[in-house]
Amino acid sequence: MTGTHLKLEETGTHPVPGPARTLSRILDSVMDAGRVILNRRRGNGGIASGQPDAIAEQCRELIDHRGEASGLALASEILGAYQDLPEEGRCNFFELLLRDFSTNPDKVIQAAENYRQQPEMERLNKLCKAIESPRHKLFRRLNQAPGGTSALVRMRSDLLDRLHERPEFSPIDSDINELLIAWFNRGFLLLERVNWDSSARVLEKIIEYEAVHEINGWDDLRGRLRQDRRLFAFFHPAMPDDPVIFIEIALGKGGATAIQPLLDSGRELIDSSVADTATFYSISNCHRGLQGISFGNFLIKQVTENLRLDLENIKRFETLSPIPGFRRWMQQAIDDGVAGDLLRNDLETASVLFDENRVPDDKTRDACQRLCAHYLVNEKRDGLPLDPVARFHLSNGAYLDRTNFGADASDAANHRSFGMMVNYVYKLSDIEKNHEAYFADGVVAASGNIRKLARV
């Protein structure tokens, strides 16, 4: 992305590299021809607005459609009509997808019986075809339309919004998610550094998608892209101006123990050539429709490698991470009671933190540090750490290095962890060893200080 984009504010346009521009012109030409063919065949202007039944009928046509140009035009028309549906209409459309585009059990049973009787390749292929739901083929056809990938990601987001109340929609989600996992395979993702010279479209998306530490406008964003900062993102070729996930990095001397200095746009800048630490302080997944598809582990490892090659002076790669479940666990532990006198004493001492009018003293801080280390190292579910951020970084091969009391003064941080944050360190020589020990035996890699605080 970098180096090929001009600012929208300056040009009002977004230039596309030559090959992509040529392909775009070809697709536009094919689409125009396809629309003419469709309209001539149907004798009308397209799908009736706001009519899920009409869209479903066009979906049936698309599944068996033969013409390439008219097929692209039809797919584009369907996606546009879906986008125009009101909330209730989209729910009705999902009901139609579930009712009319599911696998036919009778055909599966018959194909399976035929294969059982005579297990040959032709019958196996027929069985596989019977098992695949028509939705699967429909989504693949829709994806071929210009902008189809983005549209299907948004469609899955709509679907996820309804799954809690409509769990029967889960087969639809399974179909579309299976395809998205394949389409957003790591091999298709492009790692790009985002800086102030990136396109305005990309920069606007960064502001919009930041999910950990809100970016308050263009000046704030500029501060996060200065010489002592780095921002990397994964992009998909079908969504070149729309990041999939991005990570923000602060370059500094020594580890980071608080988030506010990293976010301060008026900070004293340091030259990246003298920095010895890279602190990953924010990772944002950009699309709810890609929920459940893992990108962060690849992103961190590739960015770490890029920084190592680009800045040989960087010796420490760490995070400054939130602890989203800590306060909730403490409250539950106090309510339910816990085994062990030491843990009970620390809970009693640290309980004053729930009173926001109380200023914690050193005794309270120490107790909170011990409780936090215990929570991250010892509290588990199914043999793995209870805290979701801990699960993410530890599974990637990082080790738990340090807890930081008062690291985040924001209200959100107070409500999830009394403002505490933690450093996970990615020591390149130990990443694979830590990763294997974590998944083989549930081992939480931790520094000696953390293990002492956690009493293990």
Distance CA 307, CA 449 (A): 28
435 annotated active-site: no
> Confidence class of residue 46 from pLDDT cuts 50, 70 and 90?
low
Q: Which residue has the higher pLDDT, 269 or 21?
A: 269
Whether the pLDDT of residue 7 is over 60: the answer is: no
Tens digits of per-residue pLDDT, 212-261? 999 999 999 999 999 999 999 999 999 999 999 999 999 999 999 999 99
**Spatial contact of 16 and 24, defined as CB atoms under 8 Å apart:** yes
Determine how β-strand 277-285 pairs with β-strand 316-319: parallel
Mean pLDDT, residues 296-303: 90
Report the C-alpha gap between 350 and 423 in whole angstroms.
21
Residue 48 is predicted with a pLDDT of 55
For the cut 80, the answer to whether the pLDDT of residue 264 exceeds it is yes
Cα–chain center distance at 408: 23
Stretch 15-32: mean pLDDT: 56
Q: What is the pLDDT of residue 70?
A: 82
pLDDT at 50: 64
What the block records as the tokens of 273 is 């050539």
pLDDT band of 14, cuts 50, 70, 90: very low
Band (296; pLDDT cuts 50, 70, 90): confident
Is the pLDDT at 19 greater than 80? The verdict is no
Annotated active-site residue 24? The verdict is no
Choice among 393, 410, 417, 447 that is catalytic: 393
Among the listed residues 70, 150, 282, 321, the single catalytic one is: 321
What is the mean predicted confidence (pLDDT) over 132-152?
Answer: 94
Measured from the Cβ of residue 203, the count of other Cβ atoms closer than 10 Å reads: 23
- Residue-level pLDDT at 308: 93
Average pLDDT, the chain: 90
Query: What pLDDT sits at residue 339?
Result: 80
First to last CA, the chain: 48
pLDDT beyond 80 at 43: no
Per mean pLDDT, which range of 7-16, 177-186, 207-216, 439-448 is the poorest?
7-16
Q: Comparing C-alpha atoms, which of 127, 102, 103 is closest to residue 116?
A: 127
pLDDT in tens, 63-81: 988 777 888 889 999 999 9
Spell out the alpha helix ranges (H) of 101-233: 105-117, 121-131, 134-143, 148-163, 170-183, 200-209, 217-224
Q: What is the pLDDT of residue 22?
A: 56
Residue ranges of domains in the chain, CATH in brackets: 8-183 (1.20.140.90), 187-319 (3.40.630.180), 326-454 (3.40.630.150)
Contacts of 5 (CB under 8 A, 6+ apart): 14, 15, 197, 198, 199, 202
**Residue that wins the pLDDT comparison between 423 and 338:** 423
Mean per-residue pLDDT, 82-106: 95
pLDDT of residue 28: 65
320 versus 22: which is more confidently predicted?
Answer: 320
Distance, CA of 251 to CA of 313 (rounded, Å): 11
Question: Which of 47-61, 110-124, 160-174, 442-456 bottoms out in mean pLDDT, i.e. has the lowest?
Answer: 47-61
Tell me the average pLDDT across 399-408. Answer: 97
Q: Does position 137 have pLDDT exceeding 50, yes or no?
A: yes
Determine contact, residues 149/182, Cβ cutoff 8 Å.
no
Instruction: Tell me what pLDDT residue 38 has.
Output: 66
pLDDT of amino acid 297: 84
